Amino acid sequence: MAAVRARRVHSVKWQRYPLDVVPAWVADMDFPPPAQALESGIELLRNGDTGYPSSDLGSSYEAAYQMWCKESFGTQPHPLRTVADVVAALRIVVMAVTDPGAGVIVLTPSYPPFFSVVKDAQRELMEVPMSKVDQQYRIDLERLSTTAADPRAQAMILCNPQNPTGRIFTRSELAAIATIADREHLTVIADEIHQDLLSHGSTHIPFASLENESASRAIVLSSPSKSFNIAGLKVAHIELPSDRAQRARLKASPLLALSQATPIGLAVGAEAYETQRSWLDEVRHVIDDNFTVMEKSYANHELVSFTHREGTYLLWGELHRLPENQSAYEFLLDRGRLGVGAGEDYLPGAPQFFRLNLAAWPSTITAIIERINDALGTL
């Protein structure tokens, strides 16, 4: 861990807490990005080629992503508009395709910026809690259907693979969502940023690949930032819908001009998609091993449990006993010197939950387990 911390002198993950705290909170990896992909950005820096990006950089990025999706999922994405990051993309899309005061559905627990984007856009947040069954979260389709039937509802934000629970929704679940969206004419905004981070044997189905009218109107958001650990380089994209009216509505939004991908991000992202599949395979193998270690360490534990992860590198945990007046976040930081994601950020009113980032070296996973055990030993 000391070697990682020494390299990450400007990393919010490693600099937020004192040196005695093991950070396992924010969603970036401890693994260095693929060197060959980084070299594409370094070459731009060497040449001083750091002005506004030309269209050829965007075209190269789009072509690389198209091929990546064809090889990964057997799909052909629609044309892209590049932006700085997925949260910026989400803000643009919510404001472009919904009316002020409209309802936007979010499954919970959920990535915290979904809540803030909806509220900041002066839209109404319509939460649909998922149900926890056998250490997995399931969509309450009846409740979703009822919420979608509310005349205020105009859109649904769908995160798949899901942050923080690690679910990858099945084809039947996605089809059920699409059927509801068809009936209620909802716009599905699909955040698929974790699409490449799948556990061994899991399959991701892009929402836009479904044969539904709502899939043709869906707007998909993604980025190489999670897959290749390049969040700071600022590159992401909006996949334009195939529905002509929906595409025209989005393209007409002046907000698209407010967020631009960087030339370095575009160059590195394109190179990563073109050449770094084997790098990602190795990283996924390490992450899978990390989850296996965690599952074995806490199988049938009476004080803590974790959801079964299918995708992402995030682990959603629950403490079954808490000291009075302490959340799981506060307890693990205070008694274990472990920095985790606070559960109430993802699921308001649920202090017993917490999120862990397991995209780390095995030695860090060992340290995480030791810190959890140290804290639990005080109960």
Which sign, positive or negative, has the C-alpha torsion 113, 117, 118, 119? positive
Residues 328/317, Cβ–Cβ less than 8 Å: yes
Token look-up 């009216």 returns: 245
Residue among 162, 215, 168 nearest 187 (CA): 215
Coil/strand/helix, residue 114:
helix
* pLDDT value of residue 7: 67
Q: First and final CA of the chain: distance in angstroms?
A: 27
How far from 228 is each of 5, 284, 285, CA to CA, in Å? 19, 11, 14
Task: List per-residue pLDDT tens for the chain, 379 residues long.
Answer: 666 766 666 788 988 999 999 999 999 999 999 999 999 999 999 999 999 999 999 999 999 999 999 999 999 999 999 999 999 999 999 999 999 999 999 999 999 999 999 999 999 999 999 999 989 999 999 999 999 999 999 999 999 999 999 999 999 999 999 999 999 999 999 999 999 999 999 999 999 999 999 999 999 999 999 999 999 999 999 999 999 999 999 999 999 888 999 999 999 999 999 999 999 999 999 999 999 999 999 999 999 999 999 999 999 999 999 998 999 999 999 999 999 999 999 999 999 999 999 999 999 999 999 999 999 999 9
- Cα dihedral 116→120→124→129 (10° resolution): 0
| Phi, psi at 106, each rounded to 5° | -135, 130
Q: Is the peptide bond before 161 cis (omega within 30 degrees of 0)?
A: yes
Beta strand 314-319 with 338-339 is unpaired
Which sign, positive or negative, has the C-alpha torsion 4, 9, 38, 93? positive
* pLDDT value of residue 11: 84
Tell me, what amino acid is at 113? Answer: P
Helix (H) or strand (E) holding 108: strand 103-108
Query: How many whole angstroms separate alpha carbon 195 and alpha carbon 192?
Result: 5
Rg (CA), the chain: 21
| Phi, psi at 322, each rounded to 5° | -130, 145
Query: How many whole angstroms separate alpha carbon 39 and alpha carbon 196?
Result: 22
